């Protein structure tokens, strides 16, 4: 079973497809296995266009901890993130200066207990700066970000049915094999008792309607059996463009004889 952390990582992997950033999930950053949720590493490729709120200032190395709607982001989670940063930097980029590392804490709901312990400096709706030991952690609260197309991915993980449906309708997936991810997200929401009036099947149907005008005739017909391709066409359209051999192909000798007889009768009447 895919858990929420891996689903979030898979969705981020899709989000950064085609850009200069690569996503690594469940990164082992120590000799004793300690898994970091997501690492986003800059490489070559296109720059990220109109990024989700909170991701505007990505560095070459970006370490991210994620808490779903069933978890709480607390002080211990922040301390773990800092520990992962130290181990990651030692293991993978020991010569890189601190300025080339970004730390992110993404949480579905507002961390109230953490907000009582430390000062959260607001940057924009749903995005805060959390100063910790000379570093600044970007805190992203998914339920608080502005609802708009650039934040569609955040809305999919908001754990609020209306926002999930809106985000799923707006988000433009980069990878062709994303349907299993989205289907699993919907299934997990149903298991969590969140009523999804806009189902996964609704999303697939609406997506097909939106993309249909952009497809070529060959792409529209791909996968349809012959009987479905021909359904509703009048007989004259079915044979239009066929040569005589093609029109007669499949007819029995008896059918050909009957056709010949009909043609001869028609010719004699005209005479």
Percentage of residues in the chain having pLDDT higher than 90? 46
Residue 177 DSSP symbol: T
Contacts (Cβ under 8 Å, ≥6 apart) of 197 = 161, 165
Mean pLDDT to the nearest integer, 141-162? 95
Within its chain, how far is the Cα of 258 from the centroid?
59
pLDDT the model gives residue 77 = 94
Mean pLDDT to the nearest integer, 59-72? 95
CA-based nearest residue to 129, from 71, 54, 48, 64: 54
Mean pLDDT to the nearest integer, 148-167? 93
pTM of the model: 0.70
pLDDT tens for 250-262 read 667 776 677 677 6
Within its chain, how far is the Cα of 84 from the centroid?
27
pLDDT tens for 179-214 read 788 888 888 888 888 877 655 566 666 556 555 565
pLDDT the model gives residue 253 = 72
């Amino acid at each position: 079973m895919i858990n929420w952390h891996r689903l979030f990582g898979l969705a981020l992997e899709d989000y950064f497809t085609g850009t200069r950033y690569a996503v690594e999930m469940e990164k082992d950053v120590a000799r004793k296995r300690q898994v970091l949720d997501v690492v986003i590493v800059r490489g070559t490729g296109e720059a990220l266009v109109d990024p989700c709120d909170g991701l505007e200032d990505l560095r070459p190395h970006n370490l991210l901890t994620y808490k779903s709607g069933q978890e709480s982001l607390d002080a211990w989670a922040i301390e773990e993130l800092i520990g992962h940063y130290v181990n990651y930097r030692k293991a993978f980029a020991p010569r890189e200066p601190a300025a080339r590392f970004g730390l992110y804490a993404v949480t579905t709901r507002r961390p109230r207990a953490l907000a009582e312990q430390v000062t959260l400096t607001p940057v924009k709706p749903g995005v805060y700066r959390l100063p910790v030991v000379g570093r600044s952690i970007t805190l992203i609260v998914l339920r608080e970000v502005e609802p708009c197309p650039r934040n569609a991915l955040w809305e999919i993980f908001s754990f609020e049915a209306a926002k999930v449906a809106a985000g799923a309708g707006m988000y433009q997936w980069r990878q062709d094999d994303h349907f299993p991810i989205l289907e699993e997200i919907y299934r997990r929401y149903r298991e969590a008792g969140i009523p999804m009036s806009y189902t996964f099947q609704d999303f697939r149907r609406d997506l097909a309607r939106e993309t249909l005008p952009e497809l070529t005739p060959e792409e529209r017909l791909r996968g349809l059996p012959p009987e479905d391709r021909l359904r509703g066409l009048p007989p004259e359209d079915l044979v239009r463009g066929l040569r005589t051999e093609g029109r007669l192909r499949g007819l029995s000798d008896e059918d050909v004889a009957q056709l010949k007889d009909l043609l001869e009768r028609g010719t004699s009447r005209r005479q």
